[in-house]
Structure 1
């Protein structure tokens, strides 16, 4: 349940932050690029330590609550501004597209991440998280922006969504490889030691799903 709550919290934060665009070195992106890599870190650690079965279970438990949370957060905080609880009384198609996009992107990106990671988990410790991050984030990012902002009523996002998605993806990769990959290695070593202590087994990380 802790991992489920963590995933939902990151999705909620990302749906708020993705509505806040800014310019980085002349390119348009959003603050959501800095929050979502946390989910891939958590998923990769779950697959490494417990196998793809538990990781998929987390995804299934998260995806529908996340759809609701995504809509609620985006309605109450349109474009980053607080609109009040009463905003929920009116159906918002623009926000609904963002929520559905978040739902599709999360499921597609996470399932791909789990599958790639599980296939490569026997290699050196860094190979699986690098490859799964590259492919999972690619699927997640472009699925989200295409679904949410293609022909969007928001003229800025409709015009710049491809550029924003590309820059968003590049930022996610940079953050993941520079910061989250080392963090993954440290957490993996620490959690593996703790599991050995808790279980009394020399190899606490299962080799099969």
Structure 2
């Protein structure tokens, strides 16, 4: 059951990315980056078993961010993609800060939300730092690599620059996050297993998004930015 839900969820997220781009243009892509980042940082707290492997649920939405930044790179250039990355980074940092401030307020008598909010948003600083560092490093590399392969292939082979940039960036993301968050916490073999399963499922979504990039290119040809 989990496997079918996971596959369906991946296609749902990638399809909604295209729909938001179709109706809102460039602003829709920025919206996808912010929306996916906020939710994946909550969903990542839940672990699930997929195909006999344990992984976090946030991998789908996080991988969808790479589709969004690749779309910005392809249609609007490197600077716009970097702007999208920095927008996502800023929102995640502010959301984390604001929720930490919210947790400092003493709850009213009879309040039921405080322990649940603390469980979700009272993240250890080490995990928060790991997530933010991994995001910024991997996304900046993704933008650079996408532009590199675009120039290298003279604008041809969209599938190559989409996958070559994303797959390496996903590896960077998994490595940076796991090393910062879990080094010294788990034995090295366990750390490597967590890193592998995290990268594996992100990589699968990265491969799934290739046809969605081609569809997005057709949508872009219709100048969606004029449809408001």
Q: What is the TM-score when the length of structure 1 is the normalising length? A: 0.75
Is 1:98 aligned with 2:130?
no
The structure 1 residue matched to 2:46, chosen from 20, 26, 31, is 20
Contact 2:29 2:72 (C-alpha < 8 Å) held by counterparts:
no
1: CA distance, partners of 2:134 / 2:58:
13
Query: How far 1:41 sits from its partner (Å)?
Result: 0.4
Q: Which runs of 4+ in 1 moved over 6 A?
A: none
Contact 1:67 1:100 (C-alpha < 8 Å) held by counterparts:
no
Q: Secondary structure at the match of 2:210?
A: helix
Q: Secondary structure at the match of 2:157?
A: coil
Alignment RMSD: 3.0
Q: Tell me, which stretches of 5 or more residues in structure 2 are unaligned?
A: 1-26, 104-112
User: Counterpart of 2:90?
Assistant: 64
Deviations 1:138-181 (A, max 9, x none): 111111122122234xx7x998342122111111111221x211
Q: What is the TM-score when the length of structure 2 is the normalising length? A: 0.69
2: CA distance, partners of 1:82 / 1:8:
25
Aligned residues between the structures: 184
Q: Tell me, which stretches of 5 or more residues in structure 1 are unaligned?
A: 199-209
The structure 2 residue matched to 1:6, chosen from 21, 25, 32, is 32
Q: Secondary structure at the match of 1:28?
A: strand
Query: How far 1:128 sits from its partner (Å)?
Result: 0.7
User: Counterpart of 1:83?
Assistant: 115
Q: Secondary structure at the match of 1:64?
A: helix
1: CA distance, partners of 2:203 / 2:114:
30
